[in-house]
């Protein structure tokens, strides 16, 4: 029997050790996070050190909202209507007139009006011409005429110049039949993604969104992104509607994307839920973010251990981003007012530490669950 009790005691030691290991918190405790400023943010010695900022009531004037995005009118307002510029793949219609008597493209047609001795010539309209990969169109008696990158008027003048001396006082009219190069792509949260052509009258941003069937989400929750070249700019759709100057003319190859909740933050630790939470482009505050995750877990979370991890932009152009941890003590009522001003950024991480009492309770609970079955077995044996 003594041998049995010795075996039981030996079994208790690893079981308790395992229990202690199992009850360790998911991440660092409050004190560990506050000490993060002592270590670099990366594996190398030259990595930027982590900056820990304790958010307090004295910082109210520093928590100003981030500067607004530049307005479309300021950064994309220089586009001009497409006009009649021709590109590779466009289809053209070319009509040629000659003064009577026509000698190259057709005979004269007499004016049938009574008392009129005027004779005119019929226009010769060539079959639809496609601007080829070489950027040219082939005109009888004029050869390959460069067209890509030229206006319709420039093409007309070039064809007429080449026909002089062959045709009798030629006059040329060039018309754009199909425009396959000056287009805009509309994608995202619209009812119908499309690739839409631009015309010489000049299409504006809201015109193209209407052609795509409009947006799916409410206008005050939808962000419009315009990508031109290698740069992208964003504005909330309601601001574009309210300020007509932001209803910009679109340019060739622009990409218009309608976005709903394009940004996100991650929450970990003793929160109502651990998840990646998306939010609207006009932004939310820390208090709104905590509300969306169900707040802090009762009985488990440490209200003094609410942290926000963020990579701040470099202080100088070309510099490295700065890792910053913002510490919030929700035991202080003034901090709740600050949380209503603190703006969330894309890819922020909220981490809520466990309360020390909660860790002790977890430890006691796990140890009790481990020792209780052993104590029960011991009691039964002693009774026997």
Tokens standing for residue 273:
């839920």
**0.85 exceeded by pTM:** no
Mean pLDDT for all residues in the chain: 80
Domain spanning 182-260, CATH architecture:
Roll (3.10)
Higher pLDDT, 362 or 104: 104
| Residue 383 pLDDT greater than 80, yes or no | no
Do 30-65+263-361 and 91-178 share a fold? no
| Residue 122 pLDDT greater than 80, yes or no | no
Domain spanning 91-178, CATH architecture:
2-Layer Sandwich (3.30)
pLDDT digits (tens, 9 = 90+) for 341-355: 899 988 999 999 998
pLDDT at 242: 93
Sign of the CA dihedral with 179 first, then 181, 186, and 192 last: positive
DSSP state of 343: B
Q: What contacts 112, CB < 8 A, 6 or more positions away?
A: none
pLDDT at 28: 78
The structural domains of the chain, with segments of one domain joined by +, span 30-65+263-361, 91-178, 182-260
d(CA 342, CA 105): 76
Tokens standing for residue 152:
């319709």
Angle at 243 between CA 204 and CA 198, to 5 degrees: 5
pLDDT digits (tens, 9 = 90+) for 323-374: 999 999 999 988 998 899 899 988 999 999 998 765 545 555 555 555 555 5
Instruction: State mean pLDDT over 187-206.
Output: 90
| Residue 6 pLDDT greater than 60, yes or no | no
pLDDT at 379: 54
Q: Which whole-number Å values give the CA distances from 339 to 137, 283, 286, 291, in the listed order?
A: 65, 13, 5, 11
pLDDT digits (tens, 9 = 90+) for 221-275: 899 999 998 999 999 999 999 999 999 999 889 999 999 988 899 999 999 999 9
For 30-65+263-361, CATH gives 3.10.560.10
Place of tokens 């631009």: 198
d(CA 224, CA 36): 39
């Amino acid at each position: 029997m003594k041998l049995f009790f010795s075996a039981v005691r030996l079994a208790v030691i690893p079981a308790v050790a395992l229990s202690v290991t199992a009850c360790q918190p998911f991440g660092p405790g409050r004190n560990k996070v506050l000490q993060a400023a002592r270590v670099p943010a990366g594996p190398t010695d030259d990595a930027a050190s982590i900056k820990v900022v304790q958010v307090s009531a004295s910082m109210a004037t520093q928590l100003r909202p981030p500067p607004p995005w530049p307005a479309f009118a300021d950064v994309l307002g220089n586009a001009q209507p497409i006009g009649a510029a021709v590109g590779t793949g466009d289809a053209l219609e070319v009509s040629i007139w000659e003064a009577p008597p026509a000698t190259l493209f057709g005979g004269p047609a007499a004016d049938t009006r009574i008392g009129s001795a005027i004779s005119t010539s019929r226009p010769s309209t060539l079959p639809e011409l496609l601007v080829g990969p070489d950027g040219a169109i082939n005109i009888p008696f004029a050869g390959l005429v460069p067209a890509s990158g030229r206006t319709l008027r420039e093409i007309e003048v070039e064809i007429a110049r080449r026909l002089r001396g062959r045709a009798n006082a030629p006059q040329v009219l060039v018309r754009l039949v199909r425009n396959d190069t000056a287009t805009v792509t509309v994608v995202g949260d619209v009812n119908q993604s499309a690739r839409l052509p631009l015309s010489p009258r000049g299409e504006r941003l809201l015109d193209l969104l209407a052609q795509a069937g409009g947006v799916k989400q409410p206008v005050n929750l939808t962000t419009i992104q315009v990508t031109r070249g290698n740069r992208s700019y964003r504005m909330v759709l309601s601001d574009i509607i309210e300020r007509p100057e932001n209803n910009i003319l679109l340019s060739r190859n622009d990409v218009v994307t309608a976005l709903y909740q394009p940004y996100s933050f991650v929450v970990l630790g003793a929160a109502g839920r651990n998840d990646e939470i998306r939010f609207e482009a006009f932004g939310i505050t820390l208090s709104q973010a905590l509300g969306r995750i169900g707040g802090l877990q009762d009985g488990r979370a440490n209200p003094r251990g609410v942290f926000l991890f963020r990579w701040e932009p470099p202080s100088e152009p070309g510099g490295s981003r700065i890792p910053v941890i913002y510490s919030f003590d929700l035991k202080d009522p003034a901090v709740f007012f600050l949380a209503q001003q603190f703006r969330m950024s894309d890819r922020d991480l909220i981490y809520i530490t466990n309360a020390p009492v909660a860790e002790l309770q977890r430890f006691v609970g796990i140890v009790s669950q481990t020792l209780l079955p052993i104590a029960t077995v011991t009691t039964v044996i002693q009774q026997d």
